[in-house]
Amino acid sequence: MSTHTLKITSHVRSVALAVVAVPLLFVAIAALQARIDVLSAPVTQDKEELVLRSASLLKKLSLGYDPLLADIYWTRAVQYYGTRLQNRSGSFELLAPLLNIAATLDPKLLIVYQFGGIFLSDHPPGGAGRPDLAVELVKRGITANPNEWRLYYNLGFIYYTRLKDYQKASRAFLEGSETPAAPLWMKFMAARVAENGESLETSRFIWAELYDSTKDESVRKTALEHVQELDAEIALKRLNQVSEVYWKKFGRFPTSMQELRSAGLVEGDLNDPAGYPYVMGPNGIPQLDPHSSVKIESQRKP
Amino acid sequence: MSTMPAVVAVHTFREAVRDRVLYNLIIFALMMIGGAILVGEISIGVQQMVIVNLGLSAISIFGIIMAIFIGVGLVHKEMEKRTLYSLLAKPIRRWEFLVGKFAGLLLTLLVNTALMTLGLTAALYYVSRTFERSEVAILVAVYFILLELALITALALFFSCFSSPLLSTLYTLGIYVAGVFALDIKGVGEYTQSPAMAAGARFVYYLLPNFHNFNVIAAAAHGETIPFTLIWHNTLYAALYVILILVAASAVFSGRNLK
C-alpha cells in the first residue's frame, strides 16, 4: 500500500470517528449539563451582589462605551426584576441601584425612568413598593430630559396611583402638558385629578392611558388588570346603588341579580370584565363571582 | 500503548519554560503581596474574602490568557518553524501529535496554577495567620479553574488546526465569552416567551461549553462546601468535552495538506 493511500485511509478513519463520536458526545454532554444545572444551583447561584455601585466610576471605566454599558445595566435590571417576580421572592433590594447606574450611564435612556419607575413603585410582590425611590428616579429623568411629556405622565402616575397625592399628580400632569409634544389629554387629566382625584373613573382613565401608551407586555398586563378591576368596582358600585333602590321599594334586600332584573331596575348583561356574572352577596351587596379572574382590592386574598 | 504523546507533551512543556512563560508568576506574586498588604489597610472583616476573590480571579485570568495565546500557536508555530514536517516524518500519528501538544500545555498550566495556588495560600496565611477547613473549597475552585483551562486549551488547539493564530484567538475568545454567558443565553430565550426562541436558546446552551459550571469563586470566598457529586460531574463534563474537541481536531488535522 502506498504512503498516499495510507494517509487517505487514516484521514477517512479520523473523519468517520468524528462523525460518530461527536454527536454521541454532545448528547452525553447535554445530559450531564442538565444534571450539573441541578447540582450547581446552590453553589453558583447569584449572591445578590452589586460589586460596583458607583455609577460615576463605572462611567469612567466604560472607556466611552457608557451607552452600551447602560443598555447592559438596564437589561440586567429587567432580568433581576423578572427573576424576582417569577420566584415571588418579594425583595427587590438591587433594583434601585441597578436603575440608577443605567440612568447615570445614559441619562437619555427614557425606558429606565418609564418602566423603572413602575417596577419600583408597584406594590409587592409585583414591585419593590418604593414609590419614593420611583419619584426620585423619574424626577432625575425629567431633569435630564425636560421636554419628554411621558416622564411627567409617569411622575403624575406614581403620585396618583401609589402615593395618592392628587395635588402633586395634577401638577406633574399640568407641567407635562406644557411640553412641546404633549397630547391634549394631559391638560384634561391635570384638571380631572385636581378636581376629583379619588374617583374610580379618573383612576380608570389613567390606567387605560398607560395601557394604550405602552408596548411592553408585562406593563400592559398590569395596566389591563387594573382597568378590569376598576371596571368591576364601578359596576359593583352602581349595582349597590340599585340594590338600595330595591330595598327602598320592597323593604328587603334582593337575594339574586334576577330579582333586580325582574323589578326592572337593571337590564342587559351583568357580567364582569372576565365574563363571569356578578352575584348577589348577603344584605344585598353585589359581588364578583369567586371563580372570576378579576380581583378587586376588598376581595383579594392577603 | 504509544508513548509518543507523552514525548511531545514533555517537549511542549520544556519549550514553554524556555519561552519564559512562567514569568507571569512574578506578576502574580507581586499582586498577591500587594493585595494582602493593601487589603489589610483599607478593609475591615473581608480581608480573607478579598484575597480569595483576587487570587482565584488572577489564577483564572492568567491561566486563560496562557491557554489561549499559547494554545493557538501550538500547531502554527511548528509549521512556521517547519519542525512539524520532520516530526511527522517520524513514526508519530497526527492525532498523537495533537494529544501530546494538548497534554504539554496542560502540564504547563498545571505547574503554573499550582505555584499560583501556593502564592495564594501564603497570602491567605499572612492575612489570617491560620488555615481553616473551609479553605478546602479554594482548592476545589482551583481544580475547577484547571478543568476550565483544559477546555480552553482544547478549543484553542482545535482552531489552530485550520486557522491563523489571530483568528484562532478570536474564535476561542468568542466561544469562551459565549460559554461564560451560556446561562444568560438560555435565560433570554425563556424571557422572550416564544417557544421557538426558548428551544433555540436551550439548544445553544447545551451546545456551548458551559464555563459557568466551573465558576465557584464566590462560593469558595464565602467558605461554602462544594458537593462531591458536582466535582465529579464537572470532571466528567470537562473530560467528555475535551475528548469531543480533540476528536474533531484530529479529524480536521488529519485531512490538512501540510505541503
Which of A80-89, A166-175, A191-200 has the highest average model confidence (pLDDT)? Answer: A166-175
In the numeric block, the cell 488547539 is attached to: B157
Residues of B in contact with A14 (CB under 8 A): 94-95, 250-251, 254-255
What confidence category does residue B1 fall into, taking pLDDT thresholds of 50, 70 and 90? low
Residues of B in contact with A34 (CB under 8 A): 206
- Higher pLDDT: B172 or A266? It is B172
**Tens digit of pLDDT for each residue in A36-66?**
888 877 665 555 555 556 777 777 666 667 7
pLDDT at A301 over 50: no
pLDDT at A3 over 70: no
**Tens digit of pLDDT for each residue in B33-72?**
777 667 656 555 556 777 887 888 888 988 999 899 999 9
CA B135/CA A135 separation, integer angstroms: 46
Q: Do A26 and B207 lie within an 8 Å CB cutoff?
A: yes
Look at residue A52 in the predicted model and tell me its pLDDT.
Answer: 57
**Tens digit of pLDDT for each residue in B133-174?**
667 889 999 999 999 999 999 999 999 988 889 999 999 999
Look at residue A88 in the predicted model and tell me its pLDDT.
Answer: 67
* Range scoring the smallest mean pLDDT among A133-142, A174-183, B35-44, B250-259: B35-44
Residues of A in contact with B251 (CB under 8 A): 14-15, 17-19
- Higher pLDDT: B130 or B140? It is B140
Which of A172-181, B73-82, B100-109, B129-138 has the highest average model confidence (pLDDT)? Answer: B100-109
Residue of B222, B244, B245 best to disrupt the A interface, most CBs of A under 10 A:
B244
Q: Do A14 and B233 lie within an 8 Å CB cutoff?
A: no
Is 0.85 exceeded by the ipTM? no
**Tens digit of pLDDT for each residue in B113-126?**
998 898 888 888 88
Closest CB from A11, A25, A32 relative to B243: A25
Look at residue B50 in the predicted model and tell me its pLDDT.
Answer: 74
DSSP 8-state assignment for residue A93:
T
Mean pLDDT of the B229-248 span: 94
**Tens digit of pLDDT for each residue in B74-87?**
888 888 777 777 77
Could you tell me the three cell numbers for A284? Answer: 344585598
Look at residue B126 in the predicted model and tell me its pLDDT.
Answer: 81
**Tens digit of pLDDT for each residue in A63-91?**
667 777 788 788 788 878 887 877 766 67
Look at residue A271 in the predicted model and tell me its pLDDT.
Answer: 86
CA B202/CA B189 separation, integer angstroms: 7
**Tens digit of pLDDT for each residue in B208-232?**
999 988 988 878 877 788 889 999 9
CA B7/CA B16 separation, integer angstroms: 14
* Helix B182-191, helix B195-207: angle, nearest 10: 170
- Higher pLDDT: A218 or A79? It is A79
